[in-house]
Structure 1
């Protein structure tokens, strides 16, 4: 095989990953005639491309036939065998299909995934590899580990290291008797290892075994031979139970033959061995990180009284973690090239698994996409229990009716049809052959996929229908040379996203077609099919079940967002928007440049604000520096600023400074804004309306139920907050906490404060809570500070022992002045429990318990929240403060009154 390097590239003119591997000789008889070097070079290119596509979402290998056969021809047994080895001896047709078109030969590659393997009754590894470069001893042999074996071996080593870490300071874990004997003085090989001399032709008293290997010196290139066998044999012993490698012993007769003294220099040989061992890649799961322990002994071999030569013996101790012979042989597509994975990348993907949630998390969240049965690049997807499952969202947003082709969203279809004469006829003509499925329209599918919008595109229409591959139609106002590139790029991104984000595991492609609505004639259309490859019939959606499965993957693509759980678990996790959130997010920004979004506590306003800022960048082709996020509190500002999607400032900074470069503004938690520094709303409108022909976006998110003061907020009257949308689906809090919040909201309705519009209170009647998530709420009255902080420390220790971390906990008090009052006492109580991680909310991503005020924590959340003596100077807004406090807790709430 050729050396690992990024030599193969992706052809960007297709809506799929297409890798051209150049000329390849095909056909069994033709390949037999090739020289071994050329045959291996061609095979290496094909295998690298196949492995990369399996690991990157699937695609197509294109090759030009080097032989002159015009008739259809097979690949060749050596190529088929190599592909079969790559997929761990599974059915070749499950992952590869071939097609010959003229002089071009195509291999269509399905994505690798963790589908169950019936033959073995287990799951595939998360990544496909030509070789794991991991070896073990089995009887008297050295065997390479398959990906499945490597996964089990790595998981065992990881568990052992975790056990040792948890039990650090306890008596060391017992080493099995067999492992100890493999390198101890009870092993018969040990006695030979202790000798300085041995007789030529002596028959050793012990045979080969799992801990003993006999090898002879090669007749020439002795040092190179030894250097070549070191990686496999030493790593195998280290990965199993240790042992001895004898070089210079016949494995059948057990005779000591050594190597003639005139053919080898003992010191030079020891240096070669040491250098080869030092190059072995090792991976540690443990904290001590020792090196591989090997001892080399060069024993003099005598014939009678004369020195004949040397016997080499290498003693290898069992290694605590993992020893590779070299970097694993696995490839992925990176930045348009086929590149080898580093050991670190390979190990991360090989060990990739669903996150380990504490017990309460498991009860609170429902898996929508598991890594155990999804393609290599996918991330796990969860939704809060009680919310719509991806199947429910699919049926709500993209329903499929038997014998019916539906256009959705209907309102957009009617709007586009009325605005563009001939558009309806043009699209109907394209899809008239399909009787069941759905046509999903968008003003820009590129924006929906987090790409930039293209001027001149009337709309994009995605057809997902029975007995067809998905087809993306881009309709242009007039012919445009860049229109085809836009459609291809969008279709490519959609296909990759369906697999690598949405987790679709069947064979799939997205064909791209560009249509032009001629201004001269409403019925004339110029069409260009981007893809010239004829995909196999298996790439068409065979029935309703396949159509709906693909649409459910599309739901994850369109509604998925990076969960705040990602920061807590230190791994990438996705959540899904609710249907209500998605409908607001899908609004046409050009027609909704100003919007007030009223959202109840826990309805996801801040998440929506972040998603809208990402959409603004793609619709208006602007940089993050031109979008301003404004909130009241510094911790929330810091949290958003860390996302690098915008410039983030507090209201005070916004009123103090100039923002000449800002085009778009998102206001969050606006109910707590004040006019003490001036008219912030007027300033925001002035900035976003500087460009009269193309005003910017001004979206304002607020919830009057969480108002924390009685002064003027600077918001316009409710009747003037138009257009307006409402988020009434509450998604954050566990049942007991949600019930407590509802009671406090009802109290506000019964006794509203003067700065809450009475018309707003009717929103409570439209509220939908997501039930089914267990949690806890405890209200404790009349405790002393000492009692409170002791209880907080004890409760934190309780949760930490059950899998939670300091990132899950917030302790909230009434004012920043009280933070200082409680800090000393709380820290003292925590230290008694050996908990020292305590800080304010300015660093939400740090691994510490937050101690801060309720107001400064507005807009943020944690799983466990303690509220200490919440109070306010005006009793009229105490229920608001308690709502704000309680809504910060996702699962467990403790309030000390």
Structure 2
């Protein structure tokens, strides 16, 4: 994919669909972004407003102002919304309207007559403001059909309609892209279908096409002859109407060549009068045929093309120079271009659409990026056995072969939390594990809105803050006095909550969501601070953008800022400041409980959303949501307690929490990657986390061998139950590193699960009584019902008869265990199998899985020890080859498109949809239940356990 064209706000190419880009590029706007405001604000300079005033302007100046406003509006619509600021050039009066041409241009941009759906207008001082809501593809009241996923001034897509060329509007372009993509799929499903066999347009006249082809094949024509066929769907006549022949013909290419290519092919004859069909040609002394053909080739090569197929074929066309004779003398030439039907999509130029990048640059979308965003699949689809997809829109199951490939990322085990069909263009899919709380439930648990009064939350945070900072309670109460209903959400740092860097001078932040008020972020500082307002503004800006682009909030929204100072010299002395540029219209205020809850549900996604491990497998970003239990642990005050133990049951999300804690440490303590160390027992998990680029990652053995950890300040230990003291006291070394700076000790977080202990040695962990403070993760979120029930039985056996190296009290968390319900899966246990039977079972089952649509990257085959990997590898390869399927890797390749074949221990901390577990006599009986628990917890959907003999009577899952 080609990179997008980027340029700064201060000097930008602008464009609008009603005139060619070549004209637009003559105008340079000055879009200056105001970084002192908690929103995207474009200052486009002086603009003449009012219908009467604008009618007096020169056409070029009026056009330039219109284009500047449209560019800013388009970029804001696609990037979460914001504000357009302009200074009124006509200072002598306050116009009652902005001007009919500007209103019509904005209506055309949003493809709706209802300007207030996306725009609000306001005068303040000497400036005029347009408040822009984020784009939404939800249908408008006047039109029940959905809008395109992205706002555009022009699609730059053309098609033939009779004898005309039609520039498709965005909605028509979307339908065209969907139809073309489906036709490509159908074509690919027919073996051996080549581009030349793609059907032409339905309305094409075969007789006329044959005559056109004969004309294209001819070598000479007579001047003034009348051709025996007219213009049609596949034929266009043009005469030479200018002396600059080369420039004229080049100008025809972007209009007619893509239109023919997108409409089944056709012919462009230049040198024929369109009405009379007379052959007029071009005088020979006015054109250089070779130069003209070169110019045509150059123009065609610049046409953007986008493929839905894998052919990467270029646009196919031929040019022909036909001699035109006047009597017996050569008068000149007629030029002909034969365009073949294109397999996918040809544009005249890149679509005219903009977005904002990192608050500093505005960039125009390439054709590829534009198509990607236009075709992005609306959410809330479900997959059934990898064969069919259920559409909630049509309430029907659709065969997967007819579905968009992006829909395959929606596993049947997850439920959508965000309707992308009405969300902003930058929104990503958000899913929670089936059976877990939806965002509505999470909002009621964490941020419930009282029926009356104002509620402070979380209680533990605000009580601690009020006790630590005298005068803070009075200050907050004073600020909250005007508000009658809502919720005030405290945080030690909202910046850290939003993945920004903490400002240490901040006492706390509080987000107000209240009735008849816009959302407001309060920042409380100890003393006057020149950077305090900038911190609050940046935090509020990030929150607003995430509420829209991540949380999927579709209403009009802003986040106001207020900076408060609590002076230690005088408890009652407070000052305040605001970074707001302009008062927002009343439509940006929260008017009822329903609006407040909708905004808080978006906030739930912002705070609890994390990048799913599925994203790495699927190649597109998917968000999952933390559980309430996980979120509460993540909200821990890292400055108050630096040393934590987290005990988590199998499948409770310990590794996810480890990653989130590292991200929080990075932002709270201004750390770099080389200041945070992640330690685990096995190399594959170390590689998996190391690839995230958020920390240094090592195995426990490497940690003990290496002496140079001078840059490390914080340590995260994962899967600690499988650590050993064979190479020394790893725990003591970790303590020494994190506490060597007595004034500013680092953080040490240790994640473990005694139920998954896979050895009988001394782990090196401190006694259970010394593992304090301690948190517990008791909600299992990974495994399907049958697998979870089997895990429960295994853990009961472990608790009843634990290995000697596991403290009995550590297993008392089992009664608190919860499992996600109603997630269907498969559990099969086979006993007394020979190695040949095991290999054949795995190969046959995989063959059936692949026929259902599963791939290599869904499957892991795990054996008891690393020595047994080679025992099974060659037999499995042989059996798989017979069925034409073979791709294996060890656990380090868990993200690759291969079947993982490795030991249970080396796969610890990782997961796959389907797991085959092979167990033989080599497994140690005292910890076999633990190893089976580790094995079972790795499987999300299907688990097959295969025993070589009957030396062990495995527990059976509880039913019901």
The TM-score with structure 2 as length reference comes to 0.91
Deviation at 1:40, TM superposition (A): 2.2
Deviates more, 1:168-177 or 1:678-687: 168-177
Deviation at 1:222, TM superposition (A): 2.4
Post-superposition CA distance 1:366-390 (Å, at most 9, x none): 0001322210111100001110100
Q: For the residues of structure 2 that align with 1:165 and 1:287, how far apart are their CA atoms?
A: 10
Deviation at 1:80, TM superposition (A): 1.8
Deviation at 1:39, TM superposition (A): 2.0
> Following superposition of structure 1 onto structure 2, how do residues 164-183 of structure 1 map, counting pairs within 5 Å?
164-168=187-191, 175-176=198-199
Which among 399, 402, 424 is matched to residue 375 of structure 1? 424
The reply on whether 1:768 has 2:793 as its aligned counterpart is no
Post-superposition CA distance 1:608-657 (Å, at most 9, x none): 00000000001111111110000000000000000000000000001111
Q: For the residues of structure 1 that align with 2:200 and 2:87, how far apart are their CA atoms?
A: 59
Residues 171 and 472 (structure 1 numbering): CA distance in 2 closer, same or farther, change over 3 Å?
closer
Post-superposition CA distance 1:57-109 (Å, at most 9, x none): 00011111222233244222222222222212352211111111122111111
Residues 347 and 367, structure 2, Cα contact 8 Å, conserved in 1: no
The reply on whether 1:475 has 2:499 as its aligned counterpart is no
Q: For the residues of structure 2 that align with 1:663 and 1:702, how far apart are their CA atoms?
A: 21
Q: For the residues of structure 1 that align with 2:517 and 2:314, how far apart are their CA atoms?
A: 57
Residue 849 of structure 1 corresponds to: 899
> Following superposition of structure 1 onto structure 2, how do residues 169-208 of structure 1 map, counting pairs within 5 Å?
175-176=198-199, 187-208=210-231
Which among 318, 329, 342 is matched to residue 295 of structure 1? 318
Deviation at 1:845, TM superposition (A): 1.7
Q: For the residues of structure 2 that align with 1:677 and 1:508, how far apart are their CA atoms?
A: 57
Residue 708 of structure 1 corresponds to: 758
Which among 359, 367, 371 is matched to residue 384 of structure 2? 359
Which among 227, 247, 250 is matched to residue 270 of structure 2? 247
Residue 581 of structure 1 corresponds to: 630
Residues 191 and 556 (structure 1 numbering): CA distance in 2 closer, same or farther, change over 3 Å?
same
> Following superposition of structure 1 onto structure 2, how do residues 639-678 of structure 1 map, counting pairs within 5 Å?
639-658=688-707, 659-678=709-728
Q: For the residues of structure 2 that align with 1:291 and 1:509, how far apart are their CA atoms?
A: 46
Residues 814 and 871, structure 1, Cα contact 8 Å, conserved in 2: no
Residue 531 of structure 1 corresponds to: 580
Q: For the residues of structure 2 that align with 1:156 and 1:805, how far apart are their CA atoms?
A: 28
Q: For the residues of structure 2 that align with 1:858 and 1:407, how far apart are their CA atoms?
A: 41
Residue 744 of structure 1 corresponds to: 794
Which among 496, 508, 514 is matched to residue 465 of structure 1? 514
Q: For the residues of structure 2 that align with 1:703 and 1:178, how far apart are their CA atoms?
A: 64
Residue 310 of structure 1 corresponds to: 333
Residues 172 and 297 (structure 1 numbering): CA distance in 2 closer, same or farther, change over 3 Å?
closer
> Following superposition of structure 1 onto structure 2, how do residues 311-326 of structure 1 map, counting pairs within 5 Å?
311-326=334-349
Deviation at 1:47, TM superposition (A): 1.3
The reply on whether 1:48 has 2:71 as its aligned counterpart is yes
The reply on whether 1:511 has 2:560 as its aligned counterpart is yes
SS at structure 1 position matched to 2:893: coil
Q: For the residues of structure 2 that align with 1:766 and 1:180, how far apart are their CA atoms?
A: 69
Residues 793 and 119 (structure 1 numbering): CA distance in 2 closer, same or farther, change over 3 Å?
farther
The reply on whether 1:779 has 2:804 as its aligned counterpart is no
Post-superposition CA distance 1:387-427 (Å, at most 9, x none): 01000000000000111211001121112112222211211
Residues 872 and 693 (structure 1 numbering): CA distance in 2 closer, same or farther, change over 3 Å?
farther
Residue 861 of structure 1 corresponds to: 911
Residues 170 and 773 (structure 1 numbering): CA distance in 2 closer, same or farther, change over 3 Å?
farther
Which among 371, 374, 377 is matched to residue 350 of structure 1? 374
Q: For the residues of structure 2 that align with 1:116 and 1:672, how far apart are their CA atoms?
A: 55
Deviates more, 1:130-139 or 1:571-580: 130-139
SS at structure 2 position matched to 1:256: coil
Q: For the residues of structure 2 that align with 1:525 and 1:547, how far apart are their CA atoms?
A: 29
> Following superposition of structure 1 onto structure 2, how do residues 674-823 of structure 1 map, counting pairs within 5 Å?
674-823=724-873
Which among 344, 355, 361 is matched to residue 337 of structure 1? 361
Residue 133 of structure 1 corresponds to: 156
The reply on whether 1:92 has 2:115 as its aligned counterpart is yes
Deviation at 1:159, TM superposition (A): 3.1
Which blocks of at least 5 consecutive residues in structure 1 are unaligned? none
Which among 103, 106, 128 is matched to residue 105 of structure 1? 128
Q: For the residues of structure 2 that align with 1:161 and 1:787, how far apart are their CA atoms?
A: 43
SS at structure 2 position matched to 1:607: helix
Residues 57 and 111, structure 1, Cα contact 8 Å, conserved in 2: yes
Deviation at 1:677, TM superposition (A): 0.5
The reply on whether 1:486 has 2:509 as its aligned counterpart is no
The reply on whether 1:37 has 2:47 as its aligned counterpart is no
Residue 385 of structure 1 corresponds to: 434
Deviates more, 1:84-93 or 1:812-821: 84-93
Q: For the residues of structure 1 that align with 2:200 and 2:542, how far apart are their CA atoms?
A: 56
Residue 175 of structure 2 corresponds to: 152
Residues 25 and 65, structure 1, Cα contact 8 Å, conserved in 2: yes
Residues 383 and 412, structure 2, Cα contact 8 Å, conserved in 1: no
> Following superposition of structure 1 onto structure 2, how do residues 832-847 of structure 1 map, counting pairs within 5 Å?
832-847=882-897
Aligned length: 897
Residue 262 of structure 1 corresponds to: 285
Deviates more, 1:827-836 or 1:537-546: 827-836
Residues 242 and 860 (structure 1 numbering): CA distance in 2 closer, same or farther, change over 3 Å?
same
Which blocks of at least 5 consecutive residues in structure 2 are unaligned? 1-14, 16-23, 386-409, 948-960
The TM-score with structure 1 as length reference comes to 0.97
Deviation at 1:779, TM superposition (A): 0.4
> Following superposition of structure 1 onto structure 2, how do residues 4-23 of structure 1 map, counting pairs within 5 Å?
8-23=31-46
Deviation at 1:690, TM superposition (A): 0.5
SS at structure 1 position matched to 2:137: coil
Q: For the residues of structure 2 that align with 1:113 and 1:621, how far apart are their CA atoms?
A: 36
Residue 401 of structure 2 corresponds to: none
Q: For the residues of structure 2 that align with 1:871 and 1:725, how far apart are their CA atoms?
A: 37
Residues 863 and 919, structure 2, Cα contact 8 Å, conserved in 1: yes
Q: For the residues of structure 1 that align with 2:270 and 2:58, how far apart are their CA atoms?
A: 33
Residue 448 of structure 1 corresponds to: 497
Residues 673 and 696, structure 2, Cα contact 8 Å, conserved in 1: yes
Residue 115 of structure 1 corresponds to: 138
Deviation at 1:166, TM superposition (A): 4.9
Deviates more, 1:460-469 or 1:782-791: 782-791
SS at structure 1 position matched to 2:436: coil
Q: For the residues of structure 1 that align with 2:139 and 2:534, how far apart are their CA atoms?
A: 38
> Following superposition of structure 1 onto structure 2, how do residues 399-478 of structure 1 map, counting pairs within 5 Å?
399-478=448-527
Q: For the residues of structure 2 that align with 1:648 and 1:45, how far apart are their CA atoms?
A: 49
Residues 111 and 505, structure 1, Cα contact 8 Å, conserved in 2: yes
Deviation at 1:748, TM superposition (A): 1.3
Question: How large is the Cα RMSD of the aligned pairs?
Answer: 2.0
Deviation at 1:297, TM superposition (A): 1.9
Deviates more, 1:507-516 or 1:277-286: 277-286
Residues 200 and 265, structure 2, Cα contact 8 Å, conserved in 1: no
Residues 185 and 191, structure 1, Cα contact 8 Å, conserved in 2: no
Deviation at 1:51, TM superposition (A): 0.9
Residues 33 and 95 (structure 1 numbering): CA distance in 2 closer, same or farther, change over 3 Å?
same
Deviation at 1:871, TM superposition (A): 5.3
Deviation at 1:43, TM superposition (A): 1.9
Deviation at 1:6, TM superposition (A): 9.6
Residues 169 and 745 (structure 1 numbering): CA distance in 2 closer, same or farther, change over 3 Å?
farther
Q: For the residues of structure 1 that align with 2:906 and 2:269, how far apart are their CA atoms?
A: 69
Deviation at 1:325, TM superposition (A): 0.7
Q: For the residues of structure 1 that align with 2:237 and 2:197, how far apart are their CA atoms?
A: 30
Deviation at 1:763, TM superposition (A): 0.8
Q: For the residues of structure 1 that align with 2:194 and 2:229, how far apart are their CA atoms?
A: 35
Residues 673 and 714, structure 1, Cα contact 8 Å, conserved in 2: yes
Deviation at 1:833, TM superposition (A): 2.3
Residues 422 and 522, structure 1, Cα contact 8 Å, conserved in 2: yes
The reply on whether 1:76 has 2:99 as its aligned counterpart is yes
Deviates more, 1:3-12 or 1:662-671: 3-12
Q: For the residues of structure 2 that align with 1:80 and 1:317, how far apart are their CA atoms?
A: 41
Residues 242 and 248, structure 2, Cα contact 8 Å, conserved in 1: no
